[in-house]
Amino acid sequence: MSDKLDFSLPERKEPPRDRQVAVRVLLVLILLAVLADVALSARGRAPATPDGAGGPSLSAEAQKDLALRLENQGLSVAAAEAWEKYLRTGRPDAVTCANLWYRIGKLRQDAEQFEKALEGYYRSESFAKPAELGPEIGRRTQECLERLGKFAALRYELTDRVSAKPDAKAAGDEVLAEIGPEKITKADLDRRIEEQIGRQLAQFASQLTEEQRRQQKEELLKRFSTAQERLQYLQQYVAEEVLYRRARETKLDQDAETRAFLKDMEKQILARKVVEKEMSEQIKITGGDVETYYQAHAQEFVLPARARVSHILVENEEKAKAVLESLKNGEAFDALAKSLSLDQATAASGGDIEGWVVQGNPAVPGIGSLPEAVVRIFSTDAGKVAEVPVKGEKGYHIFKVREREAGRQRPFDEAKDEAHRALRSQKEQEVQKRLLEDLKRQYDVVVHLGAASESKGAPVQKPKAQPTP
């Protein structure tokens, strides 16, 4: 069989050119039809509502009715959000916008959202300034700034509102210093001072109530109200800024020792921030909590007995007995103190010691620790002289009790601030302890006490397991 099999493919025959053109036209028509269908589907589909829910959006009138209904039911935040949606859909005129933004500001303020309330009031004034709203917006803006502790901003706000020149430069825009192209204004300086004071007071959150922190902030800000104090702070501000820039230019921030120090500082700051965040989220103290703590720890809020005294200091016991004998014979205590007492600080005043001697506290003001004297003083009635002299470091003391106050239970209103501090301190310790225990378990911490103390046989300390709820 001499014939060989032919496995080659037959030559492809090109279709006629007219047929190629027809196919391409058909494909284009199909593509156009698909795109048209997609566009029609998109137009027919209901748009998503602003809050992401499916279905059609409310009409402007329906949105207005919703806002009114929420407001009438006392749902301040939801009502404010509904009014904001109405402003986006209803497109009211400028005066209506001004009135509605004022309304939104009031709702936000009622909900104690003071920053958003300020935004509402400022937006109101940006649309229009109806005469009847001006005084109310001014008053409410002041209240919000006070609650936020923005006292510098409050001062400029009040200055701007009472200014007789509406086109004048805003209060606080005055330039105090320039560093190259950067300008430092009065408002910049006040803001920096206020922020620094705020950070300092934040360190004493457990010792001060919110109202006390606000009062302390006001007092500290008053210290920077004089021209001398402000100039001194400005000079310090400028000095720090130029030194910082020089450090960056000379790449001191890239120095290994500096970076290690900054890293340590960063760890400390972030660790403190974690604790502060945990405390702010978990510690909520009400007036009722404070009163309950006070009732449970009433013994901690008792004022001990106290006394005001005078004394005569002499060299030895023999002279002390002679003074007591003179007093028994009717000589005046203050006269003897002036003529005989070795204590020059009190002799001229007849031996009077400033301050109180407190029962249970061994210290006597101006003398120091003298427990026996405290016992003698509270064994002596007011107006009487202690019958036995007391030996001290500098000689013998003869004490006279000028005034006595009995111990008493402090009422809640008097002790509530102290009770609040004590309760917060207790809760902070609990939160911090719990947080550290949780984190040690989470990060599988094991402390080798033996290696740490360089002693053999010391136990290994692991976090305690928490009981399963």
Give me 112's structure tokens: 């104690």
18-43: pLDDT as tens digits: 555 444 544 445 444 444 444 444 44
Residue listed under structure tokens 């005055």: 174
How much is the pLDDT for 8? 41
DSSP type of residue 8: P
Q: Which of 409, 355, 344 is nearest to 377 (CA)?
A: 355
Residue listed under structure tokens 């209803």: 90
177-188: pLDDT as tens digits: 988 777 888 888
Distance CA 428, CA 279 (A): 7
CA torsion angle for 430, 433, 435, 439 (degrees, to 10)?
-160
263-272: pLDDT as tens digits: 999 999 999 9
Distance CA 180, CA 195 (A): 24
Q: Same topology for domains 60-148 and 305-406, yes or no? A: no
121-175: pLDDT as tens digits: 888 888 877 777 878 888 888 888 877 777 666 666 555 554 444 444 555 678 8
Q: Is residue 107 within 8 Å of 80, Cβ to Cβ? A: yes
Q: Which of 318, 328, 399 is nearest to 364 (CA)?
A: 399
Domain boundaries, the chain: 60-148, 177-281, 287-297+411-461, 305-406
38-48: pLDDT as tens digits: 444 444 444 44
Cβ count near 161 (within 10 Å): 14
Cβ count near 8 (within 10 Å): 5
216 pLDDT more than 60 = yes
Residue 456 CB-density burial (10 A; 0-12 exposed, 13-18 middle, 19+ buried) = exposed
60-148 has which CATH code?
A: 1.25.40.10
The answer to whether domain 305-406 has CATH 3.40.50.300 is: no
Would you list the DSSP string of 388-454?
A: S-EEETTEEEEEEEEEEE--EEPPHHHHHHHHHHHHHHHHHHHHHHHHHHHHHHHTT--EEHHHHHT
User: Which carries the bigger pLDDT value, residue 9 or residue 13?
Assistant: 13
Q: Is the pTM value of this prediction over 0.85?
A: no
357-382: pLDDT as tens digits: 999 999 999 999 999 999 999 999 99
β-pairing, 368-369 with 363-364? antiparallel
Distance CA 335, CA 345 (A): 15
Q: Provide the angle, in degrees to the nearest 10, between the axes of the packed helices 134-148 and 114-127.
A: 150
User: Which carries the bigger pLDDT value, residue 194 or residue 20?
Assistant: 194
How much is the pLDDT for 385? 97
pLDDT, average across residues 60-86: 88
Mean confidence (pLDDT) of the chain: 82
Q: Is residue 339 within 8 Å of 313, Cβ to Cβ? A: no
Distance CA 381, CA 372 (A): 16
